[in-house]
Structure formats: structure tokens, C-alpha cells
Amino acid sequence: MTKKTVWLRFYEELNDFLPPGKRKIVLPYSFTGGKTVKDAIESMGVPHVEVDLILVNGKSVDFSYKIKNDDRISVYPVFERLDISEVTHLREKPLRDVKFIADVHLGKLARYLRMCGFDTLYEKDYSDDEIIIISSLQKRIILTRDKRLLNNRKVTHGLRIRSGNPESQLKEVFDRLDLKNLAKPFTRCMGCNSLLVDVPKEKIFDKLPPRTREFYDTFRLCPQCNQIFWEGSHFKRMQEFINGFTGK
């Protein structure tokens, strides 16, 4: 069969998936038979869930587009701050009811996201298959440092986390998904992810440390693990930490 070639150019953080020598340049992809633009993109190691706009010869297409010899393909990452409503968005709508599921390497990030009020599932023993199934059933964004997980064809929403530092990881998620106006700090349990409920002081009085009984009157309770929360000495530090990401 006759070999054909198309030319791909990846933009912004999509280049992180490419070897250093192949970043921010036009790349050839040679093929035989019928291939889709999705096949070409993933052959370069770029997960399809990281892509939100594809232009072929200047026109917007979806993943099913059958590539043709000498096509010029521009591939862009998820857009959160730009209005691209006039072109073919590769998702029906953005996930604005933001929910996450984190892989085994991102436990601290999961706790930070919960502290900021985001519904974030995390278990040390989740398998990749379990993460994909839960993500699909519950419409959760997969957070992972493993690009192979995001290459699975069953994955529809996911982010590959670049940094190994939990605070930098949180900044990545906030910046890439523009979360600063969606945060609801201190509404979830950092340990088990359940929503907290207000609880009268007298109902939990016997469970409080003596000085806490004396100086604090407002409390929240996790109905799942029964942990009690109040605005203790650590609260201001936590609030300042979150303000660094929300700008509030």
C-alpha cells in the first residue's frame, strides 16, 4: 500500500508529552491504510484527553477525521479561558461540576483538593481499571502522573500532573482548569472526602479538648468518619495557603 504522510504541530503543554527534540516543531507522521487524526495524535504519545481542539488545514475537526496525505494538523490543549464556541469542541460541554479521582501517587494532592472543597476520590489500592470505571460512571476527571493511563480509549476526562511537588500539583490543577472561583474551602473532610455538617457544641462537648471547649463555639462534623473540625490555630495558615491559589 502507498505510504502517506501528514504533518503535526502540538501547542503549549502538549509538548510535555514529546521528547525534547520533538517539541514545538512540525512533526511528520507516515501511515498506510485508513487512519484517524486521533490515531496520529496518540502515536506521538499525546493522550487524547489532553486535546480539546484540532485544526486540519485550518479547519476544525473531531477525533474521527480520516487523515489524508500532506494534511497539516495543529493540535491544542484543553482551553479553559478562551471562547472557542465557534469551532468543534471535542467535549459536549466542560465539566463545571468538577469532581476528581486521583491515582495512587497523588494522595497529598487529593487532600489539598478536598481542603479546597473539591469532591476527590482517592484510595491507595485503586487499580487503573477501577479508576477508569469510576471516572466514567461518576463523570470524574482522572488525575495521574502516568500518561499510559490517560491513553486508554475509555478515558474521557483526565489531566497528567507534571510536578512531583504537591503544592505545585495543586497549582497545576487550579491553573489548567481555572478553579479559583469554584473553590469552597473547608466544606469537605480531608480524610474521607465527605461533606461536613454543622454540629452544636453541646452535642460534641464531651469529645472536645478542654481548651477547645473554652475558646471555640463553632464546629463541623464529618458524618462518615466522625472527625470534628474547628477554626483552631492552624486554620489561619490553611486559609492563607488556599488564598494563594484562589486569589481571595
pLDDT tens by residue, 35-83? 999 999 999 999 998 888 899 998 889 999 999 999 999 998 875 444 4
Q: Among 29-33, 90-94, 136-140, where is mean pLDDT lowest?
A: 90-94
Whether 189 and 224 have beta carbons less than 8 Å apart is answered as: yes
pLDDT at 95 over 60: no
What are phi and psi for residue 137, nearest 5 degrees? -70, -35
How many residues in the chain?
248
Would the pTM count as exceeding 0.85? no
pLDDT tens digits along 114-128: 999 999 999 999 999
Say if residue 84's pLDDT is above 50: no
> Cell numbers 495558615 label which residue?
237
| CA distances from residue 141 to 76, 108, 135, 220, 223 in whole angstroms, order as listed | 19, 17, 6, 28, 25
Angle CA 146–105–174, to nearest 5: 80
User: Letter for the amino acid at 135?
Assistant: S
At residue 113, does pLDDT exceed 60?
yes
Q: What distance in Å separates the CA atoms of residue 212 and residue 215, rounded to the nearest whole number?
A: 5
